[in-house]
Structure 1
Amino acid sequence: MGFFRNQFANVVEWEEFRDDMIFWKWSNREIKKGSKLIIRAGQDAIFVNNGKVEGIFKDEGSYNIESEIIPFLSTLKGFKFGFNSGMRVEVLFVNTKEFTVRWGTQNPILIPTPQLPGGMPIRANGTFNFKVSDYVSLIDNIAGMKGSYLVEDVKIRITSVLDQLLMKWISREGKDMFNLQANASEIAKGIREDLDMEMLGNGMTITGFQVMSFNYPQEIQDMITKTASHEMIGNLQKYQQVSMTDGIASGKVQGGGMASDMAGMMMGMTMANEMMKNMNMNMPQNQNPGQNPPQQHNQQHSQQPPAAPASEGGKRPNFCPNCGAKNEGANFCPNCGQKLN
């Protein structure tokens, strides 16, 4: 008798375990008298008979099926092994861990926006987390037709609806298209809730969804970067003046034309302002502005630069002698009001 028991004995265990495998089915074999069930850490063993869950075993270890498993099966607890017969039953091994999956949009998502009639092309990437939560739904909708199920299968299911959900939650409530990262947490929360409802029927729960970054076309990204640099300076006009002056200093702005004239005017104004500052610094500190002695008054007038004489034929000077602004033939400086003839 002992000879036949050893011959018919077998082991029920997860034979094809992979870390990215969600479940694996032990089936189409007969469990004989003396068989053992082996459950490893992170696994649950579910006994299924004719599509119905008979029992769920979660504690890791090695168990004698006849004495330690069958007595707990719902409708098979009275089963008796015969000399030549065994028990036909499926055992579904489920990976109980939480899976983390990276995702990324394969193609740009065209988000409707008034600025671009065709939509704003945006890519995104991040991660999502899920785990098996309902064995009955898992068996009814997936395990009943498949012998195993991989993380890649879930990823394909998720990414098939992800573009629509991204479009839905990015467009929701008129979010700033150029600053989506500020709303990433809110967008991710809405997508996680929708994905959870999508996967609920398959016996799985989406435990987390994260958006790591939003990516714009290079032209849009360059525009965002340039706009941010202007905002950091705070004064666009000043930024343009500084850029022009830097161009003169570096030799990038050369030749005639409007750019050169503007650069010359700004340099002239800068030089005139520096002259005025130096004059003010050279004035005696103890002098009362309200009382100017005649000799000091004359001395101050002598320190002021003489007005540039008009050229022959009554031609006005090209630059104001007071502030350096360029003159276009006017009698008075358009910048400081200095008379030019």
Structure 2
Amino acid sequence: MGFFSRQFANVVEWKEFRDDMIFYKWSNNEIKKGSRLIIRPGQDAIFMFNGKIEGIFKDEGDYDIESQIIPFLSTLKGFKFGFNSGMRAEVLFVNTKEFITKWGTQNAINIPAPSLPGGMPIRANGTVSFKVSDYVKLIDKIAGVRDSYFVEDVRLRIRSVLDQLLMKWISKEGKDMFNLQANAFDIAAGIKTDLDMQLFDSGLAVTGFNIMSFTYPEEIQNMINKNASHSMVGDLSRYQQISMTDGIASGKVKGGGTAADMAGMMMGMNVANQMMQNINQQATNNQNSTNPAEGTKPNFCPNCGHKSSGANFCPNCGQKLV
């Protein structure tokens, strides 16, 4: 029974197909006489012998290996099946679709910033797409030693170099650290080019790289939002005043505590100080408008309205004019 079981034909196919699997290697001993090859949509089948590519088949269908496949193999085209022997060959099934996976920084990246000695801690996330582009490189670097390969394997490799690429392209040409989203397209384009070179030797090509968002530390993001809402970037004094007012109005600074008392006292002092400045300014303006400068003679007598002609006393009523 064991002797005849070896003569049973094989069905060479990718049985447990997964969307996240990049390739699958069929290596079930020998391919027997009468075996068939099944290629489904989105798959390429690569026949390999002694680690080298013998033939690549891209059209979906159900093929008789002896009559429809072997005649097209490089060194095995004259192979004849024996009664008790088969063809020792491997078949690599490759998923030809474009893969898309999400990425995100595992830890915050400290981007150098002139005003921050330790750098600006920034996180980012987005998507990256790729596909198999070179079967020879894929087999030489990966498929030669592995039976399968997954999107997660590629994602881990991308993540291992992504932090350095983000730092490089964010810092390049002095990007605005507080408005990185406006430069997201240029940053993503640079990373895509570098990332494609990183995967080139593995037979993979990066077809797209997208940055969905940049994330700042909470206190930095709050400051950016506050500055934007009040349109007062750089006016620290006004920012502090409005922040204090907003805190009391929103109930975040409540009465009965030391923080509330200090806040109320500070706001009261600021209001009183502003009022005194306004009163003093108004008094100064009134004095300047009503009292002429010392030593200046009026052109007309303030008592009778007679023209003074530059005299020290009014020639009409005797009113002193200086």
Whether the 8 Å CA contact 1:248–1:263 is kept in 2: the answer is no
* 325 and 119 in structure 1: CA distance in 2 versus 1, 3 angstrom threshold: closer
Contact 1:46–1:93, Cα closer than 8 Å, also in 2? yes
SS in 2 for 1:9: coil
Q: 1:243 and 1:226, CA in 2 relative to 1: closer, same or farther beyond 3 A?
A: closer
Aligned to 2:298: none
* Aligned counterpart, 1:325: 278
Q: Secondary structure at the match of 2:15?
A: coil
Question: Which residue is 2:64 aligned to?
Answer: 64
Cα deviation for residue 258 of structure 1 reads: 6.7
Structure 1, unpaired ranges of 5+: 269-318
The correspondence for 1:263, drawn from 271, 277, 280, is 271
TM-aligned CA distance change 1:257 to 1:21, over 3 Å: closer
Shift of 1:237: 8.7
Q: What is the aligned partner in structure 2 of residue 91 from structure 1?
A: 91
**Which residue of structure 2 lines up, in the alignment, with residue 20 of structure 1?**
20
Q: Aligned-pair distance for 1:156?
A: 0.6
The answer to whether the 8 Å contact 2:227/2:233 transfers is no
**Partner SS, residue 121 of structure 1:** strand
Higher mean Cα deviation, 88-97 or 248-257? 248-257
Report whether the alignment pairs 1:49 with 2:49.
yes
Which residue is 2:318 aligned to? none
Q: Which amino acid is 1:72 matched to?
A: F
What is the rounded CA distance, in whole Å, between the counterparts of 2:118 and 2:268 in structure 1? 40
Q: CA deviation at 1:247?
A: 9.8
Change (3 A) 1:335 1:162: farther
Question: How far, CA to CA, are the matches of 1:334 and 1:193 in structure 2?
Answer: 67
Kept in 1: contact 2:170–2:187 (CA 8 A):
yes
Q: CA deviation at 1:17?
A: 1.7
Cα distance per residue 1:125-148 (max 9 Å; x no partner): 000000001000000000000010
Q: Which residue of 1 aligns with 2:319?
A: none
Cα offsets for 1:144-163 (capped at 9, x unmatched)? 00010011100010000000
Aligned residue pair count: 280
Residues 56 and 223 of structure 1: CA distance in aligned 2, closer, same or farther (over 3 Å): same
Q: In structure 1, the residue corresponding to 2:172 is in which secondary structure?
A: helix
Name the aligned partner's letter for residue 333 of structure 1: A
Q: Closer, same or farther in 2 for the Cα pair 1:183/1:46, shift >3 Å?
A: same
Q: C-alpha distance in 1, partners of 2:190/2:249?
A: 53
Partner of residue 124, structure 1: 124
Task: Check 1:101–1:30 CA distance in 2 against 1; reply closer, same or farther (3 A cut).
Answer: same
2:145 maps to which residue? 145
1:81 and 2:31 aligned: no
Residues 1:44 and 1:115: Cα distance change in structure 2 (over 3 Å): same
**1:257 to partner: Cα distance:** 6.0
User: 1:22 corresponds to which letter in structure 2?
Assistant: I
| Distance in 2 (alpha carbons) for counterparts of 1:130 and 1:225 | 36
SS of residue matched to 1:210: strand
* Partner Cα distance (1:133, 1:36) in 2: 27
Q: 1:172 to 1:64 in 2, by over 3 A?
A: same
- CA apart distance, 1:96: 0.4
The 5-angstrom pairing of residues 304-315 of structure 1 reads: none
Residues 337, 235 of structure 1: CA spacing in aligned structure 2 closer, same or farther, 3 A cutoff? Answer: farther
Deviation at 1:227, TM superposition (A): 1.4
Give the drift of 1:334: 3.6
Contact 1:25/1:148, CA 8 A, preserved across alignment: yes
- Residue 334 and residue 229 in structure 1: after superposition, are their counterparts in 2 closer, same or farther (change >3 A)? farther
Deviation at 1:7, TM superposition (A): 4.8
- Is the 1:6–1:34 Cα contact (8 Å) retained in structure 2? no
Change beyond 3 A, Cα 1:335–1:97: farther
Structure 2 distance, partners of 1:112, 1:85, is 66
1:160 aligned residue: 160
Would the alpha carbon gap of residues 340 and 256 (structure 1) be closer, same or farther in structure 2, given more than 3 Å must change? farther
Counterparts of residues 166-177 of structure 1 (less than 5 Å): 166-177=166-177
- What CA distance in whole angstroms lies between the structure 2 residues aligned with 1:87 and 1:203? 28
Distance in 1 (alpha carbons) for counterparts of 2:45 and 2:249: 77
Contact 1:102 1:127 survives alignment (8 Å): yes
Alpha-carbon offset, residue 231 of structure 1: 1.6
The question of whether the paired residues in 2 share the 8 Å contact of 1:48 and 1:89 is answered with yes
Q: Is the CA contact 2:35–2:65 (under 8 Å) kept in the aligned structure 1?
A: yes
**Letter of the structure 2 residue corresponding to residue 260 of structure 1:** G
Structure 2, unaligned runs of 5 or more: 254-259, 292-322
1:300 aligned partner: none
Q: Secondary structure at the match of 1:76?
A: coil
Partner letter of residue 325 of structure 1?
Answer: N
Deviation at 1:202, TM superposition (A): 0.3
Q: 1:227 to 1:337 in 2, by over 3 A?
A: farther
